[in-house]
Amino acid sequence: MKILVPVKRVIDYNVRPRVKADGSGVDLANVKMSMNPFDEIAVEEALRLREKGVASEVIAVSIGPAKAAETLRTALAMGADRAILVETEDAVEPLAVAKLLKAICDEEQPGLVVLGKQAIDDDSNQTGQMLAALMDRPQGTFASKVEVSGDSVEVTREVDGGLETVKLTLPAIVTTDLRLNEPRYASLPNIMKAKSKPLASKTPADYGVDITPRLKVLKVAEPPVRKAGIKVGSVDELVAKLKALGAVA
């Protein structure tokens, strides 16, 4: 079976996002961009399933600007077989992303779609669930373990207070959590090889999907600044301060 892995190009997780002075958004000019960390985990999981012989082909997909091709090359360098870029310079909300992914799934017929539980830019945590809904297929969100057997997959999920395992009938959608795996680094020879792997370029119009946003961002602001407090000189002072603040009994 095929596995489809949607990946998103986002601000690198080690970079501190800066809000633009005019409040229109976060400044992405000249900022290091990388693959969304949860999507890296998704690529890794798909590759492991291929290495185990469960999957025959791993297809990476990205919906975003022309530069998202770099993110797809990263996925190809990690080991994905081919890539599809749905190019648009407009912001695309999770609902529209899910509609585009559904259109791609209709063409590619993957047995599994594995994607990050959320992107670390808009933190929506919606796309996988929405795709599952639109396809009328089951979802295994926040996965820390994925085991495919026959025509079903068992997904262990990270839920509040522990773990939960569900069994889903394939095709299914899985969203990844941090504990699922440790993504591999792409080796230099694989980075070179990735340059010649196929990368198809498409547009939202090719799939007939309207990506007009439903939400209007009125303002993006810095969070309230936390003032540095005081330094104390001893444990006794620390305990006294904590008691004065009512932070401990």
Partner 1 sequence: MNTLVLVEHADGAVKDASLATVTAAAQLGTVHALVAGDGPEAKQAADAAATIAGVEKVLLASDPAYARMLAENVAALIVPLMVNYDVLLCDASSNGKNVAPRVAALLDVMQLSDVIAIEGATDDKRTFVRPIYAGNAIATVESSDAKLVLTVRATTFEKAAGQGGSATVETVSGPGDSGLSSFVGAEESKSERPELTSAGIIVSGGRALKDAATFEQYIVPLADKLGAAVGASRAAVDAGYISNDYQVGQTGKIVAPALYIAIGISGAIQHLAGMKDSKVIVAINKDPDAPIFQVADIGLVGDLFAIVPELTAKL
Of residues 101-120, which lie at the interface with partner 1 (CB under 8 A)? 120
Spatial distance between the Cα atoms of 209 and 216, rounded to a whole number of angstroms: 19
Q: Please list, in sequence order, all residues whose beta carbon lies within 8 angstroms of the beta carbon of residue 129, skipping any fewer than 6 positions away.
A: 139, 141, 173, 175
Residue 186 CB, nearest approach to partner 1 (Å):
19
Residue 234 CB, nearest approach to partner 1 (Å):
8
From 26, 66, 192, 205, residue interacting with partner 1 (rule: CB under 8 A)? 26
Spatial distance between the Cα atoms of 84 and 205, rounded to a whole number of angstroms: 14
From 66, 159, 192, 205, residue interacting with partner 1 (rule: CB under 8 A)? 159
Residue 132 CB, nearest approach to partner 1 (Å):
6
148 binds partner 1 (CB under 8 A): no
Q: Which of 162, 109, 121, 140 is nearest to 19 (CA)?
A: 121
Tokens 């890539």 belong to: 83
Residue 105 CB, nearest approach to partner 1 (Å):
14
242 binds partner 1 (CB under 8 A): yes
31 binds partner 1 (CB under 8 A): no
State the sign of the Cα–Cα–Cα–Cα dihedral 193, 198, 201, 207.
negative
Residues 163-192 that bind partner 1 (CB under 8 A): 163-169, 178-179
Residue 121 CB, nearest approach to partner 1 (Å):
6
Spatial distance between the Cα atoms of 249 and 240, rounded to a whole number of angstroms: 11
Q: Return the range that interacts with partner 1 (CB under 8 A); candidates 9-17, 53-61, 64-72, 74-82.
A: 9-17
162 binds partner 1 (CB under 8 A): yes
Question: Could you count the other beta carbons within 10 Å of the beta carbon of residue 198?
Answer: 10
Instruction: Give the Cα-Cα-Cα angle 159, 128, 212 (nearest 5 degrees).
Output: 135
29 binds partner 1 (CB under 8 A): no
In the bound state with partner 1, the residue whose beta carbon lies nearer, of 111 and 138, is: 138
158 binds partner 1 (CB under 8 A): yes
From 39, 157, 183, 187, residue interacting with partner 1 (rule: CB under 8 A)? 157
Per DSSP, the three-state class of 93 is coil
Spatial distance between the Cα atoms of 21 and 209, rounded to a whole number of angstroms: 33
Residues 46-85 that bind partner 1 (CB under 8 A): none
21 binds partner 1 (CB under 8 A): no
Tokens 């870029």 belong to: 85
